[in-house]
Amino acid sequence: MSEYGNVELSDPQYERDHLRYLTFKSPALKRRGDVTIFVPPGCERKDRLPVVMLLHGVYGSHWSWSMKGGAHLTALNLIEKQLIEAIVLCMPSDGLWGDGSGYIAHAEADYEGWIMEDVIGCVTKVIPCIDSRSLLFIAGLSMGGYGALRLGAKYAEKVAGFSGHSSITDPNQLATLVEEPLAFFGETLEREDARLLYWMKRQRESLPPFRFDCGTSDALIEKNRELHQALFALNIPHQYFEYEGGHDWDYWREHIADTLIFFDSVCKAREPCLK
């Protein structure tokens, strides 16, 4: 694993709730990055489990989905009730630029490459029940929803499905959430390829199944409706849902199950989740 420098993985005797913690030097970031990983009980080296990448929102980090959202407990509950097959949850930081990197390449570091190359590459080498052929799904909330929708569309050939909760749908919306002026992003957010529809239109023939949802009390609801309407007008297949709720962890804790069940259905339709 020399391409990732020194890799530090938590000691199993101190781990709880099937969570593992990974730190490694990322070529894309040019520094260390952190990942929280949920590995379901009974994970065997012979398994090839699907991987669900969960991207957090602004102000957060790799621990947000587990320690604020309880995503690992939701996954475990669904697995134990046989509502989904076993999965691995991969929960990276966004690279920790300012209040939020947007999961997109900046001049000084590639926060997109961190997610799509380094995190996937390193995690598949240190977790025994997944490998480079495991199905990959991406989901996120708010800024992470933007990241999931954009990266899922851009890397359609690598991603089996994607989902966004309460998503930023226009990169300029970051201005309302981060302290740093958008000028600090350089030309990143002004590029056409920063926009969701750019990739969804460009990749329309190869897009994997995807969904997104938003709370009816969320300030981002109108922009999510606009994205849904634009996709509908373009005849791009997708699922869109609105639920009661706002832009908060109560909403995301409740609806992450919808994403995991959706991914499980995609996995079963595509090929057996376990091989």
Q: In the predicted model, what is the mean pLDDT of residues 69-90?
A: 97
Cα 159 to Cα 44, 147, 152, 245, distances in angstroms: 23, 13, 6, 29
The contacts of residue 214 (CB under 8 Å, 6+ apart) are: 165, 166, 167, 220, 221, 224, 225, 242, 243
Percent of the chain beyond pLDDT 70? 93
What are 213-270's pLDDT values in tens digits?
999 999 999 999 999 999 999 999 999 999 999 999 999 999 999 999 999 999 999 8
- Please tell me whether residue 181 adopts helix, strand or coil conformation: coil
Question: Is 70 exceeded by the pLDDT of residue 190?
Answer: no
Extents of the domains making up the chain = 2-270
Q: How confident is the model at residue 1 (pLDDT cuts 50, 70, 90)?
A: very low
Asked if 245 and 220 count as a contact pair (C-beta separation under 8 A), the reply is: no
pLDDT at res. 239? 98
- Positive or negative CA dihedral for 76, 87, 66, 208? negative
Q: How confident is the model at residue 185 (pLDDT cuts 50, 70, 90)?
A: low
pLDDT at res. 188? 64
Q: In the predicted model, what is the mean pLDDT of residues 151-175?
A: 95
The contacts of residue 119 (CB under 8 Å, 6+ apart) are: 26, 33, 35, 53, 90, 92
Tell me the DSSP string of 44-63: -TT----EEEEE--TT--TT
Question: Is 90 exceeded by the pLDDT of residue 172?
Answer: no
What is the fold, at CATH topology level, of the domain defined by 2-270? Rossmann fold (3.40.50)
The CA-to-CA distance between both ends of the chain, in Å, stands at 25
Closest to 52 in 3D by CA, of 76, 33, 30, 23: 76
Backbone φ/ψ region at 30: left (φ over 0), alpha (ψ -120 to 50), beta: left
- Please tell me whether residue 14 adopts helix, strand or coil conformation: helix
pLDDT at res. 235? 98
pLDDT higher for 57 or 189? Answer: 57
pLDDT at res. 221? 98
* Paired sense of beta strands 31-38 and 239-243, if any: unpaired
pLDDT higher for 74 or 1? Answer: 74
Q: How confident is the model at residue 272 (pLDDT cuts 50, 70, 90)?
A: low
Q: How confident is the model at residue 96 (pLDDT cuts 50, 70, 90)?
A: confident
Question: Is 80 exceeded by the pLDDT of residue 194?
Answer: yes
